[in-house]
Structure 1
Amino acid sequence: MAENKIFAGPRVRRIRNGLQLTQTAMAEALGISPSYLNLIERNQRPLTVQLLLKLASVYRVDLDELQGETGGSLPQLREVFADPLLAAELPGDQELIEVTEAAPNVAGGVVKLYRAYREQALRLKDLADLLAGQGHMAALSDTRLPIDEVREAFEGRPHHFARIEEAMEAFHTSLSPGDDLVSALKTWLKKEHGLAVRALPVHVMPNLRRRFDRHSMRLFVSERLSPFDQTREIAMEVASIAGHEAIVAELDQFRFSTAEARRIGRFELARYAAHALMMPYAAFHAAAQRARYDIDVLKARFQVSFEQAATRLTMLQRSGAPGIPFFLMEIDNAGNRLRRMGAQAFPHARFGGACPKLNIHAAFAVPGQILVDRVEVPDGGAFLVIARTIDGPQAGFQERVRRTALLIGCDAAFADDTIYGAARIPAVPVGPACRLCERQGCLARAEPPVTRPLGLDEMATGLSVFDFQ
C-alpha cells in the first residue's frame, strides 16, 4: 500500500524560524542538503518517515504538529467566512485549507480579528439600545442585510395598517364566505382569475410552502402545512390580488433602500393582509373582548391556529376601536429571534425580550402548554406574558419537528381584562438583556453588563460568574 505523502513545508519553516536557525544549520543537523530543505519548505518535496523521526529526535517536535494542524483553525475560519459579509467571497473550503496549511498563524490572527469585530459590534448595538431607551438616537451605522432593515422597520412601529384592514374587511364582506372561507377563496380565484388551487404531496414539492405556476394558472400548496397554514397561503394569494393597491400604499411609506428589502416588506404586508382577511377586524375585535382575549377560544371561533390568533391580537389598534395593545415575539430553541411586533411597536427599551428568565424559554420543556407570568422590569414596570410552543410544517420520517416558542404580552395594567390575568402569581424580575441589565445576584445572568465594570474581588465571590461593581 502506498503511504500518504506529507507536505508540511510551512510548518517546518515555522519550526526553523522559531528556533532562529538558518536553512544551512537545520539541513546539517538533519543530514540533508540546504537545497533539499528549501524544496521541502516550499512544499515541492514531501517529508519522508526518516526526516519526520529525525525532526522529532533532534528538535523534540511533536509529530502530530507536522501531520495535522488544520483541524483546529479550519472550523473557526469556516465560521468567519459564513458571516453574511464574507459568505460570497469563497466558493468552497479549498482556499481556507490552503491558508491554514501555509499560514496557520495568519489564520489564527484572522479568527481573533473577527471575534474582536463581533464583540465590538455587539457592544455598539447594546449601547445604541441603551441610548435609545434613554431617548437618545445613536448615530451608529453598520452593514445590514435587507431582512434586518425590514425587521427594524416593522418592529419599530405599531403593527397596524389601516388601509389594508379596510380593504380586507370590505373584500370579506363582498365575498360573503359564511362558514367556509377556504371554499369561497378558491371559488373567487377560479372565477375571477382562472386560478385553480391544488395541494401537492411532499415528494412533489419538498422544499416550498406555496408556488404559483403562471403557465398552468395553478396555485400549489404543500401538504406539509396544517389546514390553518394552507388557508393562510391561499389567503395571501387572494390578498395580494384583491388588496394590491392598499399593500403598495403601505409599502411606499417605508422607503426601503433596496429592491430586496422592498420585496421582503411586500411579503410581510401580504401575510398581514391574509390575517386581516381570515379574521376581519370588527368581528375579531368583538369576539376578543367577549372571550376576554382567550386565544384558544378565538382560534376555535375563527378556525385558525394559536399562532395566527395570537398574531392577530397584536393588530387591534384601529382608531376608535382599539383592543389591548399586545406585543409578540417568536424564538427557536437556540434563542434566535425570528420576529417581534407590537400593537404600539415592540417595547425594546423596557421589556427587551432577551432575558433568560422569561417563560418563552421554559415553554420548550412543556410543548403545547400555555405558561402565564407577570414580569417586572428594572424601571418598575410590569407585564403580563403568555408563552407557548408552536410546531412548524409536518415533519417526515426521521426529520425533526420545527418547533418554536411564541410569547405574547401586554402591560400589566390590562391583565384583568384578559382571561390570563386571573392567575395571581408573584412577579418575576427580568431585564431587557444581560448586557443591559444591572440586577445584582441574578442566577440566570449569561453576560456582564456593558454599563458596569466587572468586580474582581478575590476575597468574595457572588452568585454569578459575571459579578460587577
Structure 2
Amino acid sequence: MVAGKLYIGRKVRDLRDANRFTQAVFAERLGISTSYLNQIENNQRPVSATVLLALADKFKMDISELSAGSGDRLVSALAETLSDPLFANYIPSIQELKLIAQNAPGFAHALLNCHEAYRQRSEQLASHDDRLDDQILVENTPYEEVRDFFHFVDNYIHEVDQQAESLAKELGLTEQDTFTSLSQFIDTRYGIRLRKDTEVHAAMRRFDPILRELTLNQYLPASTRDFQVALQIAQLHGAETIDAVASAANFKTQEAYEICRVGLHNYFAGALLLPYGVFKETAAELRHDLDLLSARFGASLEQVCHRLSTLQRPGGKGVPLFFARIDRSGNITKRHSATKLQFARYGAACPLWIAHQAPVTPGQIMRQLAETPDGIRYLCLATQTSKAVAGYSNNRPTYTLALGCEISYADAFVYADDLDVSNQRGFDPIGVSCRLCERRDCASRSVPPLRQKILVDHHLRGMLPYKL
C-alpha cells in the first residue's frame, strides 16, 4: 500500500496462474483490457476498486487479506539490512523495497540470508582474528533460521492450528477440567499413564516410550502442567502434520529441522489449550483483558499473549498485535508483529519503550501510548512475569511480556478506556532500535543511527555529544 494505492500484482498473477487462465481470458473475466491487467501484474498501476470487487466476486479473493502483513515484515527486514554501512552508496526508497517484497520475495530472502552470513562472519573475524577456522563459518544459526521461518509465515501454521482446534472440540476442553480431559485422552488413545515426580529439581516433563509413562514435576504451576501434557499429545497426535510442515520448510541443517519441530510441538499445545475460534471470540468478549483470559482458560499470561499473536487465520483474523518476551538483559527471546511495528533483527529495542519499565512494577500491567518515527501510533502493554517450578532453591527466571496494537484498534482493549488517544502530546516517541531510529534529539540514544553522519562541535554540548 503506497499513498492509498494498492499494488497487488503478484497476488493477481498467482490467482490467474492458479486458475490456468491466459492474461486475455483473465482480463475478459474481470472486464478490463489485457494491457491493463499486464500493468497490474507488473505493479505498474494500482488495482482499482472495480477490479477488486470483480476479483472478490468472480474469483473469491478475500479483500480483507490484502493488508500488508508479511509484506511489511519483509520490507522492514530489507530496510534494516540495507541500512548497514556496507550499502552506504545505496539508499532505496520505500516504494522500491515494497516492489521487491511484492514481486521478488525469494530474492529478498536470499539477500537477507547473504547479509546474515556477512554479519556473522564479520563478528567471527573480529573474535578470532587470523586464526579463524573455516569450519565455524556458517551462514545462519539454526535457531535464527527457525526464528525467521515463524516470523515470515505470520506466526500462524494453518494445518497445525486446525488439527489442534479439532481435537480441542472433540475433547470439549473449554467446557470441563482441562487436566482431566487431557489425562483421559492420552491414556485411552495412546495408553500413556501420568506419574508425579516429587523431586524438587526434577525435569518438568519426562516421557518413557517403553513403559508408556509421562512423569511430570509435582511442583509445576497448573498452567505449565497442562501445557506439558498438551505438548506430549502434540508429539503423538500431531506428529504427521508437524513433520510435514517442518520438512516443507527445507531447512539447511537437521538441527534447524529439529528446533522447528520443537516450536511446532509448542504451537500445537498452545492451539489445543486455547482453541482458535473460542479463544478469539472470548478475547473480543472480554476486550482482551489478559488477566480474565488467563483465568477463563487456566493459562499463564505468557500463553495468553503468545496465542493472541497467532490469531492470523485467513478470513478470521483477530486484532493484529505485536508480541515480545524480553529477558532481564534486554534480549528479545520471542517476537512477532502483525502490525506496522517490526522488531529489529539485531541489537536492543528502544529504551523509551514501556517494556523496559515493567520490572519496576512486577505483577502490574503497564500502559503506554507511543508513536514511531513513521507517525504510526500504538497502544503498548507490558508486564513482568516469572517462569519457574515452585521451591525456594529453584531458579526463577523473570521476563517482560510486551503486547500492543495500532491505535485504531485500541477500542478493542479494556486498557484504553481511560486513555485520551486523541491527545497527540500523550504519545511517547519511540523507535525500533537506536541503530535504525533517526530521531535527532533523543537523550536516551545509545548509538548513532547507521545512515546518519556524526557532526561534532567541541564548543557546544546538547543532549548528545554530537549532532546528526
CA shift for structure 1 position 401: 2.3
SS of the residue 1:450 aligns to: coil
Letter in structure 2 aligned against 1:439: R
Residues 185-219 of structure 1, C-alpha deviation per residue, up to 9 Å, x if partnerless?
111111122211223234462xx322211232111
Question: How far apart in 2 are the matches of 1:380 and 1:302?
Answer: 36
CA shift for structure 1 position 129: 12
User: Which residue matches 1:173?
Assistant: 169
SS of the residue 1:420 aligns to: helix
The answer on 1:163 being equivalent to 2:159 is: yes
2:207 paired residue among 199, 208, 212 = 212
Question: After the TM superposition, which residues 129-168 of structure 1 pair with which residues of structure 2 at under 5 Å, given as runs?
Answer: 134=94, 135=97, 137=108, 138=111, 139-142=114-117, 143=138, 144-168=140-164
CA shift for structure 1 position 364: 0.7
2:327 paired residue among 329, 332, 341 = 332
Normalising by structure 1, we get a TM-score of: 0.68
Residues 282-315 of structure 1, C-alpha deviation per residue, up to 9 Å, x if partnerless?
1111111111111111111111111111111111
SS of the residue 2:357 aligns to: helix
Q: Would the alpha carbon gap of residues 310 and 269 (structure 1) be closer, same or farther in structure 2, given more than 3 Å must change? A: same
SS of the residue 1:270 aligns to: helix
Q: Would the alpha carbon gap of residues 244 and 344 (structure 1) be closer, same or farther in structure 2, given more than 3 Å must change? A: farther
Question: How far apart in 1 are the matches of 2:260 and 2:149?
Answer: 9
CA shift for structure 1 position 402: 0.7
CA shift for structure 1 position 415: 1.0
Q: Would the alpha carbon gap of residues 271 and 195 (structure 1) be closer, same or farther in structure 2, given more than 3 Å must change? A: same
User: Which residue matches 1:434?
Assistant: 434
Q: Would the alpha carbon gap of residues 261 and 304 (structure 1) be closer, same or farther in structure 2, given more than 3 Å must change? A: same
Contact 2:221 2:390 (C-alpha < 8 Å) held by counterparts: no
Letter in structure 2 aligned against 1:173: K
CA shift for structure 1 position 455: 2.1
The answer on 1:190 being equivalent to 2:165 is: no
CA root-mean-square deviation: 2.7
CA shift for structure 1 position 345: 9.2
Contact 1:150 1:264 (C-alpha < 8 Å) held by counterparts: yes
Q: Would the alpha carbon gap of residues 254 and 345 (structure 1) be closer, same or farther in structure 2, given more than 3 Å must change? A: farther
CA shift for structure 1 position 320: 2.2
User: Which residue matches 1:255?
Assistant: 250
Contact 2:200 2:391 (C-alpha < 8 Å) held by counterparts: no
Q: Would the alpha carbon gap of residues 323 and 353 (structure 1) be closer, same or farther in structure 2, given more than 3 Å must change? A: farther
Q: Would the alpha carbon gap of residues 332 and 281 (structure 1) be closer, same or farther in structure 2, given more than 3 Å must change? A: same
Q: Would the alpha carbon gap of residues 346 and 236 (structure 1) be closer, same or farther in structure 2, given more than 3 Å must change? A: farther
Letter in structure 2 aligned against 1:451: R
Question: How far apart in 2 are the matches of 1:153 and 1:438?
Answer: 29
Question: How far apart in 1 are the matches of 2:172 and 2:410?
Answer: 35
Contact 2:351 2:444 (C-alpha < 8 Å) held by counterparts: yes
Identical positions, percent: 30
Q: Would the alpha carbon gap of residues 203 and 301 (structure 1) be closer, same or farther in structure 2, given more than 3 Å must change? A: closer
Contact 2:365 2:381 (C-alpha < 8 Å) held by counterparts: yes
Question: How far apart in 1 are the matches of 2:83 and 2:264?
Answer: 29
Question: After the TM superposition, which residues 107-122 of structure 1 pair with which residues of structure 2 at under 5 Å, given as runs?
Answer: none
SS of the residue 2:335 aligns to: strand
Question: How far apart in 2 are the matches of 1:212 and 1:128?
Answer: 50
SS of the residue 1:387 aligns to: strand
352-361 or 235-244: which moved more?
352-361
Residues 391-413 of structure 1, C-alpha deviation per residue, up to 9 Å, x if partnerless?
01136435552101010111111
SS of the residue 2:84 aligns to: helix
Letter in structure 2 aligned against 1:127: D
Question: How far apart in 1 are the matches of 2:467 and 2:180?
Answer: 61
CA shift for structure 1 position 438: 1.6
Contact 1:200 1:223 (C-alpha < 8 Å) held by counterparts: yes
Question: How far apart in 2 are the matches of 1:132 and 1:146?
Answer: 30
User: Which residue matches 2:456?
Assistant: 456
Question: How far apart in 2 are the matches of 1:284 and 1:405?
Answer: 23
Contact 1:448 1:468 (C-alpha < 8 Å) held by counterparts: no
The answer on 1:244 being equivalent to 2:201 is: no
Residues 292-342 of structure 1, C-alpha deviation per residue, up to 9 Å, x if partnerless?
111111111111111111111111122222110112111111111111123
Return 5+ residue gaps in structure 2 as ranges: 1-79, 101-107, 118-137, 421-425
Return 5+ residue gaps in structure 1 as ranges: 1-122
User: Which residue matches 1:386?
Assistant: 381
User: Which residue matches 1:71?
Assistant: none
Question: How far apart in 2 are the matches of 1:394 and 1:459?
Answer: 57
Residues 151-190 of structure 1, C-alpha deviation per residue, up to 9 Å, x if partnerless?
1221233121111121112112222343211111111111
CA shift for structure 1 position 365: 0.8
Q: Would the alpha carbon gap of residues 345 and 192 (structure 1) be closer, same or farther in structure 2, given more than 3 Å must change? A: farther
CA shift for structure 1 position 132: 9.3
Q: Number of aligned residue pairs: give it.
A: 344
Contact 1:209 1:221 (C-alpha < 8 Å) held by counterparts: yes
Contact 1:160 1:343 (C-alpha < 8 Å) held by counterparts: no
User: Which residue matches 2:302?
Assistant: 307
Question: How far apart in 2 are the matches of 1:275 and 1:128?
Answer: 41
CA shift for structure 1 position 370: 0.3
Between structure 1 and structure 2, the one with the greater Rg is: 1
